[in-house]
Every structure is written in C-alpha cells, then in structure tokens.
Chains A and B, each alone.
Chain A
Amino acid sequence: MTAKPRREPRDPLARRQEKHVPPGARSRAMQAMSARAATGRFVLQTCVNCQTVTYPPRDVCPKCWNELVWADQVRGATVLSETTIRVTTDLYFRDHLPWRMGKVALDAGPVALAHLHQDLKPGDPAEMHLLLDKRGNAALFATPSGGAFDMSDPQWREFVVSVRDSTVLVSDGSSAVGRAIVSALRAAGAGSIIAGSPQPSRAPQSSDAFASIEGVRSVRLDLTDARSITECLTGIGGPLDIVVNTARFMRSGGITAGRLLDQKRALEIGVVGFMRLAQASAPLLRTRRASAFVDILSIHALAAEAGFAGYSAAEAARLSLVQSFRHEMRAEGVRVVSVFAGPIDDEDHQSVPLPKLAPARLAQGVIEAIEKGREQLCVGDAAQDAMDRWFDDPALYIREKNA
C-alpha cells in the first residue's frame, strides 16, 4: 500500500474552506455542446449548407444563415497568444489564481479561448480537449500535442478526478464487476479501497479475495439497510473521494411470469438503495477538491428488456435519479458519472447469449470515465450500439429490442 499522507486531526469547530464552482450561465447552444462533451466527443457546429465550422456556439451560420449541426472535429490547434490571469471577481477562479489561458487557432477552423496546459506557449501545436468544468459545462482545454503530457498540471486536475492516492468506495465489491473494478482501481493507484459486500453469504468469499491485497478493505454494505451504509461510511474514518455504485439485483422474469419478490428486490437495491447511498455519501464527496460518484448502469435503462422487466425498471429509475443527483452535485463541484454497459460476462448474465462484456473491460471504462472527466460513457460495442440506436430513433429501438 502506498504511504498515505498523514491526516491532521480534525477540529469540529474549525471553519471549513468553502468550495466554489465556476460561473454557470450558458446559452442553449452551449448546453448542447456540453451534452456532447459529457460523452467525450470533441464537437463544433458545422453549417449544413456551406460547411463552415463556427465557434462560439451560434443559432445560425454566420456565413450563409443556414442551419448548424454538431459534428465531430479534428483536435489539433496552434496556440496564438497567452495570458496569466491574476485578478478576477469570480470566487471559483479566485481560489485558483493565477490562471493561465490563451487563444488558439483550431485546425477545424475557428479561433477559441482555451485553458492552457502549463507546458504550452504561443506558437506551439496543441491537442484540444472538450472537458467538463466543475459545474458540468464544456470547456476547451489545450494540451501539448503528441499524446502524453504532464497530467499533474494543476489546471488539468480541476477538470478530472484522479484515482491515484484516492479513497474509493465500491458499493458491491463481491460481484464479478465489483472485483474487477477493485482490481482496476488498485492498478490505477487508488490509495484506499473499501469494498462493500451485501450478503453475509458472499462476504467470506470476497474477504478472502481481497485479504491479500494491500489497501483494500472488505466491509459489510447492504444498500437495503441504512444503518449498514452509515456504519460503512463512518468506518472509512477520513475523506472519501470516489464512490462506484456496482450494487444491483438482477434476475430474469417478465411482468406476468416473473417473481414479484425478485422485482421488488431489484427496485429496493437498484433504486431505493442508490438513493440511500447517494444521500449518505454526498456530504463526504462535496467537501473534496475533486470527487466523483460513478454509477454502473445497464443499457436496459434506456429501453426495457422484457425478459428482465423488474431489473430494467430499476435501471431506468436509477437513470432518472442519477440525472437529478448529477444536477444537485454540479452545484457542489462533484462529478456524477454514468457508465453504461450491455450484457456482462458475469454471474447475473449466465443465460444471456454472447457477445458479453468482460468485467475487466468495464472496470477499465470506469477508470477512464473518472480520469477523463466524463459524465457518461458507453463501454463495449453492445452499449454503444444500443445508445446509437436510442439516439437515432427511440421508438424504433424500444420495438426492435424485443422483436
């Protein structure tokens, strides 16, 4: 286990340093850009008629007044000018002065203001990223071109959450997905991992699994039991940076043929359990400089899989709850991430035909989503295919999924 920095004893009466978030007002067009940035796309508006690429977001093409559509763009750019802001009236940026930004000429066409990585200077080629700021709005960030760059850049770290040295709670660490995520977090350098285990019957197995792994602690965590959540969080005894919610209850069965008890349990863990966990962990997450709540969602949240009716309903309900939770947490500077997966090659999907997503691949996606500052990520072809179909024609997708 990597040496954790020693925590100062906390004075309960001390005035905590307040956390601010960046300015939030945006036009509707900019909101549309942010919605795409949330999924990791690098987009700008393109005119349907003259193909002019435009920025900042407009409602009409400035060259020919025809419609604009969002289109993926090349990420290259050249830095034109720079400044280091040392005075601001905004509380968030005041907390982070001096702040370096500049103007870049995008290879896609327009010029843009952008946050500048510390290693960039005027004349340098750059690679552009469309990141979400602490309030969830898209912002352009220029890094040195050529792939690898120093990710310890303090401004970069304002846009992402670093797994390294963080304290992470995995709500169900005993499932195949949970175990894979714990392993991936370890590999990514997490400082301390708390692996929840819902059922006493599975606990010994997972405890054994993690007993030999430094920095991983198995604790009982049952999302149907508020007290177990409180005990788990209290037991962490320090800051909590990341929560990965892997808890769910998945059993096959439709409305008429399924067992009501299973459906109820799917909702109790997947929906009410999520709310309990979110409510209990939010106060811990919001005090951190950079923190995230990651929810693993089945793609069935978008459209029901009739053979898993109760489970689909639970996922759909949680998708809705996560949207509300994300909105609340944006004001607190906490990133709420939805990681979508199709069928997973695990104990819950034994009867589901291939292709199925390897838990390790899903775990890799979780790390990526956190470290790249996403709000939404589809891991694997099945999830991406479903999301594409859903975007393209939701009514058709609902029909064809159960055809």
Chain B
Amino acid sequence: MRDRRAYDDVALCAPITVPYQRLSTQSAHWWAGKAMRALADATGLGPSEFDGFCFASFSAAPDTAVGMVQHLGLSPRWLDHIPTGGASGVMALRRAARAVQCGDAEIVACVAADTNQLDSHRRLLTAFSRFSQDAVYPYGFGGPNATFALITDQYMRTYGVERADFGKLCVAQRSNARSNPLALLRDPLTLDQYLRARAISDPVHLFDCVMPCAGAEAFIVTTPEVARRLNLPHARIMATIERHNAYPEDATQLRGGWAVDADELWSMAGIGASDIDTLQVYDDYPVIVAMQIEDLGFCPKGRVAEFIRATSFEIGGDLPLNTNGGQLSAGQAGAAGGFQNVTEGLRQVLRMPLGAQVPAAEIALVSGFGLVAYDRGICSAAAILGACR
C-alpha cells in the first residue's frame, strides 16, 4: 500500500470551548453560533473569511452542515458534515488538513455543537441506528450503558481488569477537572466513592457514565502562514490515522481500530509512546480509555491493569490523561464530546489550558471513538499534535 503523505503546511489553532450547560433551552444552531462568535473573537475573522466549514452534531436535525452554512451566513468553497460523534474531532481535522494542504480551502472552521434539552437524550437514543432499533433497544433499552456494560464485563474477565483500575482513571480525570472552571463535575471523587456508587448496568456504575450536556467545541485548520499572520499560536499534525468497523469478526469489542493502524501512527510521527506529553483519549466509558491505552501502544495488549496501577494520570503525573477532566467530568456535549479531546490536546501544547498546564507540554496524542450502530463503536481515529514555536 502506498505510504500516507505527511501533513506538511497545515496548522491547527484557535481551540474553542463554549462553556457547557447541563440542560439548555437553546438549539444546536445557537450553540454553533456561539462557537463561531468565539472563533471570531479569537482570530478577528468574519463570515466571509472562512472558506471551509466542517460540522458535527446530533441535535441539529433536520439541518446538516448544509443548513448550518446558510444559518450562519457562511459561503465556503469546501464543506463537510461529519456524523461520527466521538470520532468527529480527529476526523474533522484530518479532512480539513487535506483540504488546506491541497488548496481546496485556506481557513477551515471545524465546529461541533449540540444542545441538550430536557428530552434530547431519550429522543436521540430511540432513533440512533437501524441495528439498534432491531437488535438492541428491544433488549431492556439500557442505551449505551448496557452496550458498554457487556464490553466491560467481557474485557474485565478476559484481561483481569478490576473495577478499581477503571476507578483510578475516573478519579484521576476528576482530579484534573478540579482545575478546569468549565467542567460540570468538579466535586472531589475518591476511589471509595467510585466503588460504592450505584450500579447502572452491571458492571457499569454511576461514575463510569458521562453526563449528557449542551455545548460546543471548535478549532481552525489553516496554513502556518495564515496562523502567523493572525498571530495565532498553532500546532502541526505529526501523524494521524482513522479506521472504521475494525475486526468485525471479533465477537466482542476487546480492541478498537487504533490497533490496526497504531504502528503507522508512530512511524509517521517518528516518535514513540514515551515522547507523548499528554494523552487525550475518548472517554465515554473507562473501558474505552483502557482499550485506547493498549491499542495505541502505551502498554502491551492485556497488560493495562498493570499499567494503570503503575502510572499516575494527573496533570503533572507520568501520563497526564484527559486533562480537562474528559467527558466523564467535563460533560458530554453530544458530538462536541468528540471534539474536546482535540481542543484540550491543542490547548495543552499551545500552553493555553482551561485549567492547569501540563508542564513542558510539546506533543499531545488525541484519540476519538465514535458511534455504536449495534454492539460496538464503529469509528476510531487518532492524531499526534506537536507545538510549532
């Protein structure tokens, strides 16, 4: 197979997080507008200057990126709609990067925006996918909690992972969230509280679950020249991968698509896992965090329990993980949940964090995971971002 071309002459900048709300009376369009306003404030750019637009949302129906362009008064020469939820952030930057690199667009706004009205979550769950309607909902309607409970159950038994191991990840992320003023869940969380929490869908307990909320995330993909001209700190893409429906023959998802492409990720970046200063992985459930730690190559497959026990994940620790608190503590704003690992990784290497700064952060690994159609997440993606100074 032909080698993947490098992502030269592409700059990532202007990470935006529109402060989340547990519930919102506003629409996804409103949240997208807030993100655009924040991008304008950060860059001085107006509607006519964005010539590329990439959009992700679960709650903008009946609109897609198409309706959103007219709603926001944009007139881009490049447009993309990304329906991949938790993988949408990395996928947006990958697509926008190639568009910029090839000259199809020069300044791409990548935006994820979702509202969370009183009934949004239930309505989203009742029409998520055809396989879910046919073969998941009729079995107790436990939502993603039940789907990931089955994965967690088998993962724990297969690899000897204990609840306390997942608990360590959740507790570390909550500790990280304590410095992030925008995180929705900032109360201290102890391992004991984690272990004693009520069961939601065994073995998934309360603190294994994210809190759905409203919010928006955004960033800009452009050329280093434009970033310098606008005086924007920026990062480069050292390597990036994506994969969909990996290992369809696996009876249960005990590994994700990252495992297919991780070697290429590292070789393209020319570094190893020990060179990563901060890890921002998709964290809908801690089992998926553990899976990414293995499949991205931070430890051998099946050894994650040992690795978790030997590693500190706090800001300032061995491997600062989901430093804004991740979705588990900051909240899951729909598709924006798939963007927050990108914006947080970008902030850390650009030294403009929401909360505490990872000391001397130069390189971040950001990773996405999206969309359960039946019994597993289908989309996976990852990118290594390095600061340009």
Contact = CB atoms under 8 A, between A and B. Distances in A.
Interface of A: 22-23, 25-27, 29-30, 55-57, 62, 80-90, 92-93, 99-103, 105, 111-115, 122, 133, 137, 139
Interface in B121-169: 121-122, 125-127, 130-131, 133-143, 145-146, 149-151, 153-154, 157
A60 to B, nearest CB: 13
Interface string B166-207: 000000000000000000000000000000001111111000
14 contacts: A23-B138, A56-B130, A56-B131, A62-B248, A80-B150, A81-B252, A82-B153, A83-B146, A86-B200, A88-B141, A93-B141, A100-B140, A111-B252, A122-B153
Given A85-B142, A85-B149, A137-B138, 8 more contacts: A30-B133, A82-B202, A83-B202, A83-B204, A85-B145, A89-B125, A89-B141, A115-B140
B252 A90 contact: no
Given A122-B153, A122-B157, A85 B131 contact: no
Nearest to B149: A83
Given A80-B251, A82-B153, A89-B122, A101 B134 contact: no
A380 B152 CA distance: 48
Contacts of B294: none
B202 A84 contact: yes
B154 A57 contact: no
Contact of A85 (B134, B157, B201, B374): B201
Contacts of B153: 81-83, 122
Contacts of B145: 85, 87
Contacts of A122: 153-154, 157
A181 B51 CA distance: 77
Contacts of B142: 83, 85, 87-88, 99, 101
B277 interface: no
Nearest to A141: B139
B295 interface: no
A111 B251 CA distance: 6
B114 interface: no
B185 to A, nearest CB: 18
Residue of B125, B135, B251 with most partner-chain A CB within 10 A:
B135
B143 A81 contact: no
Contacts of A89: 121-122, 125, 141, 143
Contacts, number: 116
A92 B125 CA distance: 15
B135 to A, nearest CB: 4
Contacts of B201: 83-87
A382 B251 CA distance: 43
B106 interface: no
B146 A103 contact: no
B344 interface: no
Interface of B: 121-122, 125-127, 130-131, 133-143, 145-146, 149-151, 153-154, 157, 198-204, 248, 251-252, 374-375
Nearest to B204: A83
B140 A85 contact: yes
B203 to A, nearest CB: 8
Given A56-B374, A103-B251, A111-B251, A139 B139 contact: yes
Contacts of B127: 25
Contact of B252 (A25, A80, A83, A93): A80
Contacts of A27: 130, 133-134
A57 B134 contact: yes
Nearest to A62: B248
A112 B145 CA distance: 17
B130 to A, nearest CB: 5
Contacts of B252: 80-81, 103, 111
Contacts of A115: 139-140
A99 B374 contact: no
A387 B232 CA distance: 75
Contacts of B134: 26-27, 29-30, 56-57
B202 A90 contact: no
Contacts of A113: 135-136, 139, 150, 375
B247 to A, nearest CB: 13
A22 B133 CA distance: 11
Contacts of B204: 83
A23 B133 contact: yes
A23 B126 contact: yes
B159 to A, nearest CB: 13
A84 B150 CA distance: 10
Contacts of A80: 150, 154, 251-252
